[in-house]
Amino acid sequence: RAKEQGKARYAVYNAAMYTEAQTIWELENNLRLALERQEFLLHYQPIFSLTTQTLMGFEALIRWQHPQQGLISPVDFIPIAEETGLIVPIGEWVLQESCRQFALWQQQYPHISDLKISVNLSGRQLQTGNLIDLLDKILLQTGLSGNSLKLEITETLLMKNLESASLLLSKLKERAIQVSIDDFGTGYSSLSYLCHLPVNTLKIDRSFVTHVNEIKENLQIVKAIIGLARQLEINVVAEGIETQQHLDRLQELECEYGQGYLFSKPLEEKAVESLLEQSLN
Ligand code: C2E
Ligand code: MG
Ligand code: MG
Ligand code: MG
């Protein structure tokens, strides 16, 4: 009897594994097809100065327009793309498309020539070894200048690949391409290294901002990050500002920049264009 039960459990376990593997395999295949069929698109979330309330730039955020399932969030496919390596061609498309689009906007709306487009990078892209060549090619092709581009790299990634990251960052600096450390505070940073790396911006993770007024530890962390950025003489951006209370607190703490639903959700191309038209004068 026990043997039978064991056997049954074994069969169930196998079936579950099979389903999961098949789903991942399917998703991987679909991602590959999505790239060919050009089903990815970018939304752009505005980043504002919290002191002057002016627009400073946008963060490009990928979405997948699935023919049956509709718009799919990056949290549902970026992890698989990273696991399978598909993030490399997908990430290349993101860089290409965001630089192309932003260069075009800068031509159409000359008042945004000082604004920057921020693009998220994944670890696999750092490891390809030809990121700099790719960036040079894209900047040349699109006509975007290096100082209009900002790359977002997570803290964990940066610290995992310190030596190669430090070389990469200095090459980016030569091109005036800026670097933000994304999701700052969620990983483990060696502060002494941080002082030596040519990093321009710390982005405070949304998880600390959400309860900055309710959880004392979160307030302490946000304060500490703002203080650290000030000491290092670099910029600081708070993610996930959703309420006036969040904004009030961050302004009181003298956080320079912010992004979040209070100002704007990530916008489609057309919505960015009407925002840029409105801010023309
Ligand atoms: P992230 O880089 O930290 O981007 C910020 C995320 O927070 C975005 O989610 C944005 O829509 C969301 N967000 C901004 N303000 C608020 C707010 O006030 N409230 C709430 N609840 N959320 C807010 P999204 O677009 O779903 O992207 C999630 C993550 O997926 C990104 O986190 C990034 O890690 C990754 N991702 C997105 N696009 C790309 C890409 O092109 N390449 C790579 N490698 N990763 C990407
Ligand atoms: Mg980001
Ligand atoms: Mg972030
Ligand atoms: Mg985040």
Report pLDDT digits (tens) over 67-77. Answer: 988 999 999 99
pLDDT of residue 2: 45
- Residue among 268, 194, 265, 262 nearest 232 (CA): 194
Which residue's alpha carbon is at the smallest distance from atom 20 of ligand 1?
240
Which residue's alpha carbon is at the smallest distance from atom 4 of ligand 1?
61
ipTM above 0.85 for this complex: yes
Spatial neighbors of 167 by CB under 8 A, at least 6 apart, are none
Beta-sheet pairing, 116-120 with 201-204: unpaired
pLDDT of residue 88: 96
Q: What are 239-270's pLDDT values in tens digits?
A: 999 999 999 999 999 999 999 999 999 999 99
Pocket lining for ligand 1, CB < 6 angstroms: 45, 61-62, 73-75, 78, 87, 91, 94, 120, 122, 152, 182-183, 206, 239-242, 259-261, 266
Q: What angle do CA 204, 42, 99 make, to 5 degrees?
A: 85
pLDDT of residue 251: 98
Please give the full DSSP string across 38-64, using - where no structure is assigned.
T-EEEEEEEEEETTT--EEEEEEEEEE
Average the pLDDT over 75-103 and give the result. Answer: 96
Residue 2 tokens, joined: 């026990």
Q: What is the pTM of this model?
A: 0.93
pLDDT of residue 24: 80
pLDDT of 155 higher than 90: no
What is the torsion angle, in degrees rounded to the nearest 10, for the CA atoms of residue 261, residue 44, residue 76 and residue 159? Answer: -90
Fill in the amino acid letter for 56: M
Residue 9 tokens, joined: 């459990």
Cα–Cα distance, 187 to 198 (Å, whole number): 19
Kindly give the distance from the C-alpha atom of residue 182 to the centroid of ligand 2, in angstroms, as a whole number.
6
Distance of CA 125 to the CA centre of its chain: 13
- Phi–psi pair at 223, nearest 5 degrees: -60, -45
pLDDT more than 70, % of the chain: 91
Kindly give the distance from the C-alpha atom of residue 2 to the centroid of ligand 1, in angstroms, as a whole number.
49
State the alpha helices, DSSP H only, in the chain. Answer: 2-36, 78-84, 87-108, 123-127, 131-142, 155-160, 162-174, 191-196, 206-210, 216-232, 244-252, 269-278
Average the pLDDT over 221-237 and give the result. Answer: 96
Cα–Cα distance, 186 to 198 (Å, whole number): 20
Q: What are 2-60's pLDDT values in tens digits?
A: 444 544 555 555 555 556 766 888 888 999 999 999 999 999 999 999 999 999 999 99
Contact present, 226 and 211 (Cβ < 8 Å)? no
Contact present, 253 and 226 (Cβ < 8 Å)? yes
Spatial neighbors of 44 by CB under 8 A, at least 6 apart, are 58, 59, 60, 61, 117, 266, 267, 269, 272
Q: What are 184-210's pLDDT values in tens digits?
A: 988 877 787 888 899 999 999 999 999
| Ligand number with the minimum distance to the CA of 82 | 1
pLDDT of residue 165: 87
Distance of CA 208 to the CA centre of its chain: 17
Number of the ligand 1 atom closest to the C-alpha atom of 261: 18
Contact present, 93 and 119 (Cβ < 8 Å)? no
Q: Report the range of poorest mean pLDDT among 47-51, 66-70, 218-222, 271-275.
A: 66-70
